[in-house]
Amino acid sequence: MKNTLTLSIFCCGLLFSCGGSKKTAQFNESLYDDESSEILVIDETEVDETISQDLTLENTLRYENAIYNPSIHSVQLHPLRFEMGNPLIHLSFKDSLLLSFDDLSSNPQNYAYTLIHCNADWTPSDLMESEYLEGFYEEPITDYQFSFNTIQNYVHYQTVIPSANLKPSLSGNYLLIVFKENQRDQPILSQRMMIMDEKVSVKGSVKRATDLEQRNYQHEIDFSIHHSGYEIDNPFGDIMPIITQNSRWDNAISGLQAVFVKDDEIVYDYEDENLFDGGNEYRFFDIQSLRYLSERLADISFEADTHKVVLRTDEARRFQRYSGLAQDINGKRLIRVQEGSRNAIEADYALVRFTLQYEHEISHGDLYVFGQISDYGFPESHLMIYNSEKNYYEANIYLKQGYYNYEYVLKKYEGGNINRFIEGTHYQTVNDYHVYIYHRPTGESYDQLIGIQKLTSKDLL
């Protein structure tokens, strides 16, 4: 959505007193008096359940961004020195990815990671590790730091990928998993990443839907593949394009077949199969500082060794006109602390309260707080619960200081995820789209990632 964002970050110097003694996230009390419509009561039982819901999850590996251990928070995987980039690098390894996460337990752990090669649809490929990894098959994570001057104590881990000892040798999709050493069958987190071996170029455009009924609500993504000098024997069967919107994979478009082929060009020009809801600009809040109320904050307090933040109550935007006034970063987040200079270890944690006014409980699905704030997934910690006495949905999420985008997405019981249900949809919304081109040549047993193109809808305004 809006590509420009001005973040005012004022470093007020380091605080040289030691942080608090808090070791784990425990919230066992009511936090606020119900003195106004925006200062809300957080129920003791509900908060305990919110923080501990993932404790019951089995450590069953899922081929998606996921956290399997409730002490792990703020997982990030992005290009080195570009926090808002997608986890994509080139097979030449001229660039690198940075993996980082916090462990809220007090003692350092011996963590390691490995990579699993995946097909274009994020199912595991049939390759053996020796076919796609060079060097060792596991790499220890040895770079860690203790949090400094924070109430919530944590250990911050980070590592650069690839390393000198573990390098992927093939392009395609990869699942990165982190685990305690010698406990690979018990992952603590997993993250999707991609490695590209560029063989083709992709040209495309975003335009309003050709369908007149959807013209004011949806974006149409047309593109073509140019493969001069690169042989594609069967463009109708060997090429698998996938289109994503704002780094999301839950609503990705796949299964498109070429409309026609000419010389060294493969054209994908549809009217229905390549449509995305335009959606709306993301909501946002800023907790870079916990000392004052920024624009979207209703209350900040500190009780029982815990920072608590209440956001202003949101409203459904389905029937509102497009405004375009909010400056967003397309669902991303930026870990930042205003009263410090080392964001990774000086940013503290806060229990953030979300409320969405709604007249009745939705009967055909669940509402989630969604975006990079949820790792583009639907964890139980981000599920909203309906409060029939107050007529709103509510959620309490433990978050690291920073600037966040978010939206409310309905996950239907019958399958499918809809953000237009609460947020509305408009063609004017500024979205980023990525077209990924996968190729499985005849006789090969894996999907190669051979091209990518980033597109934007900002020119539609």
| 132 and 138 Cβ atoms separated by less than 8 Å | no
Strand, coil or helix: 52: helix
Cα–Cα dist 57/59, whole Å: 6
| 378 and 367 Cβ atoms separated by less than 8 Å | no
**52 is a domain residue:** no
Computed on alpha carbons and rounded to an integer, the radius of gyration of the chain in Å comes to 23
Q: Is pLDDT of 200 > 50? A: yes
Neighbours of 139 (CB within 10 A): 21
Instruction: Evaluate if pTM is beyond 0.75.
Output: yes
Structure tokens given for 296? 């979207």
Structure tokens given for 145? 């730091």
**Residues 342 and 407 both lie in one domain:** yes
Strand, coil or helix: 74: strand
**DSSP code of residue 259:** S
Strands (E), 375-422: 385-387, 392-400, 402-412, 417-418
**25 is a domain residue:** no
Q: Is pLDDT of 401 > 90? A: yes
Q: What's the domain count of the chain? A: 3
Strand, coil or helix: 346: helix
Structure tokens given for 398? 């433990």
**pLDDT classification of 59: cutoffs 50, 70, 90:** low
Average pLDDT score, the chain? 89
Q: What is the pLDDT of residue 282?
A: 97
State the DSSP H helix or E strand holding residue 343, giving kind and residue range, or none if neither: helix 343-346
**Residues 154 and 100 both lie in one domain:** yes
Neighbours of 337 (CB within 10 A): 25
Which residue is it, tokens 């029937």? 319
Strands 239-245 vs 248-253: parallel, antiparallel or unpaired: antiparallel
**Residues 456 and 338 both lie in one domain:** no
**37 is a domain residue:** no
**Residues 65 and 111 both lie in one domain:** yes
Cα–Cα dist 415/379, whole Å: 16
Q: What is the pLDDT of residue 326?
A: 75
The residue among 332, 63, 62, 60 whose CA lies nearest residue 173 is 63
324 vs 339: which has the higher pLDDT: 339
**152 is a domain residue:** yes
Which residue is it, tokens 């054209």? 267
Q: Is pLDDT of 160 > 80? A: yes
**pLDDT classification of 58: cutoffs 50, 70, 90:** very low
**Residues 170 and 301 both lie in one domain:** no
**Residues 381 and 411 both lie in one domain:** yes
**Residues 207 and 191 both lie in one domain:** no
Structure tokens given for 274? 């390549």
**Residues 292 and 399 both lie in one domain:** yes
Q: Which of 166, 196, 226 lies at the terminal end of a domain, its last residue? A: 196
Cα–Cα dist 155/439, whole Å: 41
List beta partners, residue 166.
135
State the DSSP H helix or E strand holding residue 46, giving kind and residue range, or none if neither: helix 44-52
Strands 314-315 vs 349-357: parallel, antiparallel or unpaired: parallel
Cα–Cα dist 363/357, whole Å: 16
**Residues 166 and 287 both lie in one domain:** no
Q: H helices within 57-201, ranges in order?
A: 129-132
Residue 50 sits at φ, ψ, to 5 deg, of -60, -45
Amino acid 187 reads: P
List beta partners, residue 314.
356
**456 is a domain residue:** yes
**163 is a domain residue:** yes
Q: What is the pLDDT of residue 448?
A: 98
Q: What CATH number is associated with residue 131? A: 2.60.40
Q: What is the pLDDT of residue 91?
A: 95
Give pLDDT tens digits for 238-281.
999 999 999 999 999 999 999 999 989 999 999 999 999 999 99
**pLDDT classification of 45: cutoffs 50, 70, 90:** very low
Cα–Cα dist 74/399, whole Å: 7
Give the torsion sign (CA, 213, 216, 218, 222).
positive
Give pLDDT tens digits for 75-123.
999 999 999 999 999 998 889 999 999 999 989 999 999 999 999 999 9
**21 is a domain residue:** no
**pLDDT classification of 461: cutoffs 50, 70, 90:** low
Cα–Cα dist 225/239, whole Å: 10
Q: Which domain holds residue 359?
A: 283-423
**Residues 440 and 416 both lie in one domain:** no
Tell me the C-alpha to C-alpha distance, in Å, between residue 351 and each of 101, 131, 286, 427: 18, 45, 13, 35
Which residue is it, tokens 């406990």? 183
Q: Which of 196, 220, 238 lies at the terminal end of a domain, its last residue? A: 196
**Residues 179 and 258 both lie in one domain:** no
Give pLDDT tens digits for 279-327.
999 999 999 999 999 999 999 999 989 999 999 999 999 999 998 777 7
**Residues 323 and 246 both lie in one domain:** no
Cα–Cα dist 195/168, whole Å: 8
Q: Which of 196, 211, 229 lies at the terminal end of a domain, its last residue? A: 196
Strands 275-277 vs 417-418: parallel, antiparallel or unpaired: unpaired
**403 is a domain residue:** yes
List beta partners, residue 383.
368
Cα–Cα dist 369/285, whole Å: 13
